[in-house]
Structure 1
Amino acid sequence: MKTMLEFQGVSYAYEAQADGNAVVSDLSFSVCKGEFVALIGSNGAGKTTTSKLMNGLLKPTAGTVLVEGVPTTDLKTSAVARKVGMLFQDPDRQICQNTVSDELAFGLGLRDVPEEEIERRVGEVLSDFGFDGQSAPFMLSRGERQLLALASVVVCEPEVLILDEPTTGLDYCECMHIMDRIKKLNGAGTTVVMVSHDMELVFDFADRVIAMGGGRLVADGAPEAVFRDGAVMGEASLMPPQIIELSMRLSSSRFGGLFDRAATSSAMLEALRTAGFEGRKVS
């Protein structure tokens, strides 16, 4: 499978840091085409710094970050941006035009895309996302502005999409609207890397989890396997999704491993019925 992003012993330290300690240290992993990867960890774990190293906004202090086999230190940030798009946590720091259509066209214009191609792509995205092109972006709701920010990245057709806490401040319906769009893009072949504190969201959408703690990689694997590893979750200072936590609490020898793999609500209900808890309070 084609490797889109690769970290080889990557460390990064901000010059302004008085102690000179690295924010991320000795990171080594790769992300292949079509994967949906979640970067998880507590505040200060180095997730956002790692995402900025991926899209070339930051260049490593040590080690190498490669985008399709080319070190980011050999590429201009604009060149990396043609392949790696980024949706920031706050859409108001990303939106800068007076109409939705102009916002969608802005990034394409910076890439010197021909006018006819810009019109075609903007028209398609307006139709796909259901926007009125003449609407004023800052008159939209918070969720709609986040969706517009996503659309402004999507219209540029990046091969890799990086999401920094894409659902912060959204209600459940807005959150699912955004994530359904992202899942659709991933299904069509776009590689997705999502930074998130929401373990329920990660469990529902990601195919792979990279857990960080103190700027280092502490686990890399399937979401359920990572979430069931108490040592890893402790090092990353995170709690597993509720269904996994309940499954782990109910797993014991007296149930014969009945709850060990109950990772969905339907599987949990079936396990409870089998264990004879249906209609009874579980303490």
Structure 2
Amino acid sequence: MTNLVLNNIGFKYPDGTLALENLSLEIPQGQRVAIVGQNGAGKTTAVKLMNGLLKPTTGEVIVGEWNTTSKTTAQLSRKVGYVFQNPDDQIFHNEVIKEVRFGPKNMGFDPERIEEMTQWALELCGISQYAEENPYNLPYSMRKFVTIASVIAMDSDVIILDEPTAGQDKIGLEILGNLLKTLESMGKTVITITHDMEFVTDHFKRIIVMANRRIVADDQAIAIFYQEEILKESMLKPPAVAQMAALLNIPHAVLSKKELIEYIKSHHQSVEKV
């Protein structure tokens, strides 16, 4: 089991910038978690501590049975895979299939498993048809899927996705949603940083809100997006459905499009009867 535990973490960058302080968090294996908050809240710093790209200034990060301070990033990548926000910071091969194949090959998988994981990741990310293409000939949204495929092909227990919805259209968002469900069904932990609140409410039961270098809320969407104090401190806007529900003066919390439509239909029918 690869549970993630951050115990009283603090992190300060070499220039003296304090990015995190007194942050504690536990994520059991198999959970699907969204981390949200404005830029500078400490989200990316927190997840980079989980895979060893950064080491805590104070406190400890435990990945499974490992303390990250005693392991290299390469060792930790066997347990925690991290997809960068900008795909151009991650891609370095001139063919998509080479990029995706590199991870499992570097992990020492046997040739049959390398091919199996590569093809599976390409298909899951909807980019099989681009296998022989140069990644830099693909649009930004597809390059994002190339980097996602290259990480999930390594079969790590924990997958971290940094802003995966950036630049995605409706089809891309559907692929991401299916990908999250598939990984969860395999017992993978999926941690996603995103500014897309609609994507959060559609796909995540547990939401961690960060502001001012700490966690200000850790709960379900319905308990977060209707709390003015949390939204104000984290400078988050509720998803469009919740904003519409507020404009319509719906007397209860609404986060799904289906529930909003049903309320409008029933209210319209009631008005017609009158």
TM-score clears 0.5: yes
1:81 corresponds to 2:81: no
Structure 2 counterpart of 1:58: 54
Work out the percentage of aligned pairs sharing the same amino acid.
34
CA 1:169–1:215 in 2, change beyond 3 Å: closer, same or farther? same
Q: 2:204 aligns with which of 189, 197, 206?
A: 206
Segments ≥4 residues shifted beyond 6 Å: 277-280
The one-letter code matched in structure 2 to 1:85 is: G
Partners of 1:259 and 1:268 within 8 A in 2: no
Aligned to 2:3, the other structure's residue is in SS state strand
Aligned to 2:129, the other structure's residue is in SS state coil
CA 1:265–1:132 in 2, change beyond 3 Å: closer, same or farther? closer
Aligned to 1:131, the other structure's residue is in SS state helix
State the TM-score, normalized to the length of structure 2. Answer: 0.90
Tell me, in whole angstroms, the C-alpha distance in 2 between the residues paired with 1:5 and 1:109: 26
Tell me, in whole angstroms, the C-alpha distance in 2 between the residues paired with 1:115 and 1:104: 14
CA 1:124–1:232 in 2, change beyond 3 Å: closer, same or farther? closer
Per-residue CA deviations over 1:85-128 (Å, capped at 9, x if unaligned) read 11111112111112122111212232222334323332443455
Structure 2 counterpart of 1:144: 142
Partners of 1:23 and 1:215 within 8 A in 2: yes
Matches within 5 A, 1:9-20: 9-17=8-16
Per-residue CA deviations over 1:124-149 (Å, capped at 9, x if unaligned) read 43455423432222222222211111
* Deviation of 1:80 (Å): 0.9
The one-letter code matched in structure 1 to 2:219 is: G
Tell me, in whole angstroms, the C-alpha distance in 2 between the residues paired with 1:127 and 1:268: 34
Per-residue CA deviations over 1:145-191 (Å, capped at 9, x if unaligned) read 11111111111001111011011122232233233223322232211
Aligned to 1:38, the other structure's residue is in SS state strand
Aligned to 2:39, the other structure's residue is in SS state coil
CA 1:212–1:277 in 2, change beyond 3 Å: closer, same or farther? farther
Partners of 1:12 and 1:24 within 8 A in 2: yes
Partners of 1:53 and 1:59 within 8 A in 2: yes
Per-residue CA deviations over 1:4-57 (Å, capped at 9, x if unaligned) read 11111011010113xxx5211111111112111111111110111111011110
Q: 2:262 aligns with which of 261, 270, 275?
A: 270
Aligned to 1:64, the other structure's residue is in SS state strand
Which has the higher mean CA deviation after the structures are superposed, 192-201 or 262-271?
262-271
Structure 2 counterpart of 1:222: 220
Partners of 1:55 and 1:86 within 8 A in 2: yes
Structure 1 counterpart of 2:67: 71
CA 1:30–1:103 in 2, change beyond 3 Å: closer, same or farther? same
State the TM-score, normalized to the length of structure 1. Answer: 0.87
Tell me, in whole angstroms, the C-alpha distance in 1 between the residues paired with 2:243 and 2:191: 25
Aligned to 1:263, the other structure's residue is in SS state coil
* Deviation of 1:84 (Å): 0.5
Matches within 5 A, 1:32-111: 32-111=28-107
Tell me, in whole angstroms, the C-alpha distance in 1 between the residues paired with 2:75 and 2:221: 32
Structure 2 counterpart of 1:4: 3
Tell me, in whole angstroms, the C-alpha distance in 1 between the residues paired with 2:35 and 2:198: 13
Aligned to 1:147, the other structure's residue is in SS state helix
* Deviation of 1:275 (Å): 4.1
Structure 1 counterpart of 2:163: 165
Partners of 1:3 and 1:33 within 8 A in 2: yes
Instruction: Say what the alpha-carbon RMSD is for the aligned residues.
Output: 2.1
Tell me, in whole angstroms, the C-alpha distance in 2 between the residues paired with 1:208 and 1:60: 24
Structure 2 unaligned spans of 5+: none
Tell me, in whole angstroms, the C-alpha distance in 1 between the residues paired with 2:131 and 2:259: 45
Structure 1 unaligned spans of 5+: 252-257
Partners of 2:2 and 2:157 within 8 A in 1: no
CA 1:100–1:279 in 2, change beyond 3 Å: closer, same or farther? farther
